[in-house]
Structure 1
């Protein structure tokens, strides 16, 4: 009996049994599962013809598209490892990733030709579009679909995804077929919101990020139809949700804010097909959640995870959101409880489990935990200890098992010997009606060593003063946590996953708040 322990078996099954069901569409191409399987095999056969096989690294430097997705699946078909590259990085950053991964073949979009750099310019490459050299994708494809079986199993690496590098050089996270299949089973088990064959999912998050890629693969495993957007367009997203029979979408809260603000007649749209909006990267405010439920009329779930955990470690379910709105608003500051077949604990610096309510590092184990970092044995050893993934996130757990993230350990502020977690302050700040977004960093202080600085995005032209902000925080935060200093920006710097880049904010503020 053949074990279904690799991703590609699932795609083949749908191609055989549901070949007329749409697999994926973008603005220029739509393929049903039967057509997609043929397309994947043509790409896979050509890869084998040029010498790409099991374990070889294949780079993808392109925005989301049907062809981008099929290249990744073709890599899985021949046992090669796909390396999606963040096209928002600089040429030097991309060159580092490509060199570190040892990419041997590249697929790219013409608009990113200038980002290839020295390393990738010296490797064989195929361009998805445009008229640039080298070979155009459609001309490169094989005429046949004869693929030599690569004997891919669950332990083989499916993709190598690079961390955002916000605290140092990006690291290549090794995710196996079994990691992905496990997390794609854990997610619907944990939320109770599985999708059926033929239902439609809108994909906006980029494939070089876990939410975009694993979220897409989750859909494909269950025979879902993917509607792929290459970029986030606030108005285009709303029109697609309303007009393309979309059942689910994964977003970050700020995207919902932008769309609500930019589509004044949003309540005139029909979102009756929409079942679920999943979000992550930050909590959602009670005000925004109520407004979104009023507009979209669907369930909401929140996921928390990281690249090293394939995608998800915890979920705040739709029932949890209903509980929050029915009298437990503090639950919205939680990221939920551990997914099925996983454990989450809070530990101190020595690895001892802490009692409920105490803040420490969030650690987790389960079948979705990465295989390690590419060529970084020491970093792997310090991140996975006795099978437990040390996330680097500070948080606490309540008596019901709900996790509350307080911040990255490295972003913690130490003021007068007291530990201050910026996320706790930020959750309070964004509840103010005149604050659209907020980030808190530590800045030097002669008396206390560090004090919190609130960096705010105003909801309107009326900006709060320091005294007004302090008065609002009284009784909601301990006095030493209340920001006495504040600054305003037009927008907060974020990485492609929606996480605020505290390092960039500190850089912006360093001249105004220099070290003493």
Structure 2
């Protein structure tokens, strides 16, 4: 099995040159043209002195050129660093500094997020016009396509940032071999491999593993991608029908919005075979509506950036079983993908039997290489070949995994990871807040939203509008608490640790 992503793209460019590679509102490229442009990107990177394991930042919305940057970097061994454009300028600068990026590719609309050090880097505008910064076409002018390097399975394909309990971003090193392997693992496990010529819809952002990996998997198998810069439920519905989309990935909130589009019965969704989703379960009533409207199969994936993407799948067959006889199965994440092991351990590291809750550990060939320059964090997360996920759950007698809690207290809101420690640090800087804790609470639209549980300083209580105004320049919008509550004192254990479980029970 080939372990170099670029080998797959080169093969399709030779054997299926006229097949759709990707299309957005600006570019429409077949495989031959896309492969040439990717190799031109590699040539320009080399001409600017960038080479193996140098880092460049990508701060942009979905697009053909955005996707090609990841492939172009791979042709010369440069490591692209995917940056979340929903972060603040301070957060972006922190990631760029940690990654030691030597150049930055960004959309014009995000130029105001760049600090002076980032503005001083060699920059290319990937979408829109920006005075004094070359656009992609200008930057690539007259570049002769490079002969791609032969990457090894262990070479880093992309560096993606994730945060832990401290809120400090860590760059997960995802390899060529991990991504290629995970593509086959997913296809075999949910049973819907992409066929050459199939079309997928990219609406999840490329700074998320699911958005980037899912799109690269489609390209590995010779499929084409219709790309939306932003999520728009009307546009999503129209594209599925008009372009004959076969497969797509979404979070449940996107499907909820899609069901609100007027006159859904006038659209033809017969091409659609699979919708994969993650981030939170689908409620039985929502699944029933989605099946009635879209008429396709569904698969739920559970994964982490540290595992490239896919760890388990609740397969289409599992979904049918849930609708017919066992609705509680929809609260499961399914069973591990092929060549992947799971186990549940207790507080002392002992493996627990079926039905008991503990930390979820994963072992398989799709795991990250480690964290960028975080040896201690790598050692505590990857032990003896096992990824310590930080999630708590159980495996039942049939082998289905159920997430019960998050050891790291992470909140998933609308598919975005939110880390309470990061929010709490910001809240405690407010002069009217004496103590703070952040927990996730259920929300009909977003699955979960952050709730700030506060202790007032000298009886001075804030309202949600004031709290939002205080946080907006310090936290990305999706991280800002959507609800707040006041208590006289936060519950703590004898060592002073806040008892989040007590708060979750109190504010459920």
Residue in 2 that maps onto 1:127: 125
Give the 5 Å matches for 1:32-431. Answer: 32-128=30-126, 129-164=128-163, 167-261=166-260, 263-411=261-409
**Partners of 1:164 and 1:31 in 2: CA distance:** 35
Pair 1:509 & 2:508 matched: no
The answer to whether the 8 A contact 1:58-1:82 is kept is yes
The answer to whether the 8 A contact 1:190-1:339 is kept is yes
Deviations 1:324-381 (A, max 9, x none): 0111111100000000001011111222111111000010010000000000000000
- The verdict on how the C-alpha distance between 1:70 and 1:231 changes in structure 2, with shifts beyond 3 A counting, is same
Structure 2 stretches lacking a partner, 5+ long: 421-436, 446-463, 469-475, 492-508
**Partners of 1:395 and 1:149 in 2: CA distance:** 43
Greater relative contact order structure (CA < 8 Å, 6+ sep): 2
CA RMSD of aligned residues (A): 2.8
**Partners of 2:165 and 2:346 in 1: CA distance:** 23
Structure 1 stretches lacking a partner, 5+ long: 413-421, 427-438, 442-450, 460-488, 494-499
The answer to whether the 8 A contact 2:314-2:332 is kept is yes
For residue 255 of structure 2, give the secondary structure of its aligned residue in structure 1: helix
Relative to the length of structure 1, the TM-score reads: 0.81
Give the 5 Å matches for 1:424-439. Answer: none
**Partners of 1:503 and 1:513 in 2: CA distance:** 25
**Partners of 1:164 and 1:242 in 2: CA distance:** 37
Relative to the length of structure 2, the TM-score reads: 0.83
Deviation at 1:398, TM superposition (A): 0.6
The answer to whether the 8 A contact 2:39-2:148 is kept is no
Deviation at 1:264, TM superposition (A): 2.8
The answer to whether the 8 A contact 2:56-2:103 is kept is yes
- The verdict on how the C-alpha distance between 1:170 and 1:303 changes in structure 2, with shifts beyond 3 A counting, is same
Deviation at 1:150, TM superposition (A): 3.0
- The verdict on how the C-alpha distance between 1:87 and 1:43 changes in structure 2, with shifts beyond 3 A counting, is same
The answer to whether the 8 A contact 2:339-2:365 is kept is yes
**Partners of 1:157 and 1:454 in 2: CA distance:** 34
Residue in 2 that maps onto 1:486: none
Aligned residues: 445
For residue 332 of structure 1, give the secondary structure of its aligned residue in structure 2: helix
The answer to whether the 8 A contact 1:166-1:501 is kept is no
